[in-house]
Amino acid sequence: LVGMTGSGKSTFISRLTGQASEAGVGHSLASATVDTACYTAAIDGRRVVRLVDTPGFDDTSRPAGDILRSIAARLATIQRARQRVAGIIFVHRITDVRLGGAAIKTLHVLQRLCGPAAYGRVLLATTMWADAAFRSGGRAAAEAREDQLRAYWDGGDLFAGRSAGVVRHESDDAESASAVVNALLNSTANARAGGLLSPLQIQRELVENGVPLDETEAGRYVRGEELQAAK
């Protein structure tokens, strides 16, 4: 799971695992997830999945380069263990009026982590629907934002219309969270039918090709953004 600090990644995992205290859930201005962490959950009582919680690239205590290093290390470990990433869920608050600069940068990092061959394994899940009714414009405004998000997500600038789509994590419970995971798994069923899923781009770069992190596509992008911010 990838997304901004406070978007609901840890809460999402807690709903799936049924253990509210298992995943660090933040209720302050600081980021709760400080490193990647792996959790196991049963979907529909039969299918077992492993979920990786990740810190947001807008983390309040760490630079983006450190966040990328943490995520890349986890993905490299998965690849070396000959396991495969079924997909990536980008978690986004529907209550956010617009995609902020940090969110857009995160999406561009995500592009480069996955690579074009894995675009079909990236899903956008919107959260905080229960809160939308109490915000300006209410439910209608949230649904209008959803349409805008879908247009941007499926546009050529991101995943070229080849993503796993956009879904709602609407009721903030285990059933809704399971539906999100099933939507991702179902969308990648065709890719899995042909055998093992291919590695993500950064996994191929780091593990198969031995490219240093700073020289990967994601690493170069993050380093460029940090240099620009310093200027």
CA dihedral 185, 149, 34, 182 (to 10 degrees): -10
Q: Are strands 165-168 and 88-93 parallel, antiparallel or unpaired?
A: unpaired
Number of Cα atoms under 13 Å in the Cβ half of residue 207: 19
pLDDT reported for residue 57: 86
pLDDT reported for residue 126: 95
Each residue's pLDDT, cut to its tens digit, for the chain (231 residues) gives 999 988 999 999 999 998 754 454 443 334 445 689 999 999 877 889 999 999 988 876 788 899 999 999 999 999 999 999 999 999 999 999 888 888 999 999 999 999 999 999 999 999 999 888 788 888 899 999 999 999 889 877 788 889 999 999 998 899 999 999 999 999 887 666 566 789 999 999 999 999 999 999 999 999 998 888 778
pLDDT reported for residue 26: 45
Give the pair of three-digit tokens for residue 210.
């031995």
For the stretch 165-219, pLDDT in tens is 999 999 889 999 999 999 999 988 766 656 678 999 999 999 999 999 999 999 9
The one-letter code for the residue type at 160 is A
Could you tell me if residue 160 is left (phi over 0), alpha (psi between -120 and 50 degrees) or otherwise beta?
left
pLDDT reported for residue 174: 92
At 189, which helix (H) or strand (E)?
helix 189-193
Task: Print burial letters for 113-139: b (CB count within 10 Å at least 16), e (below 16).
Answer: bbbeebbbbbbbbbbbbeebeeeeeee
Give the pair of three-digit tokens for residue 57.
């690239």
Contacts of 118 (CB under 8 A, 6+ apart): 85, 198, 200, 201
Q: Closest Cα to residue 180, out of 98, 89, 104, 117?
A: 89
pLDDT reported for residue 12: 94
pLDDT reported for residue 47: 85
Q: Are strands 37-43 and 47-53 parallel, antiparallel or unpaired?
A: antiparallel
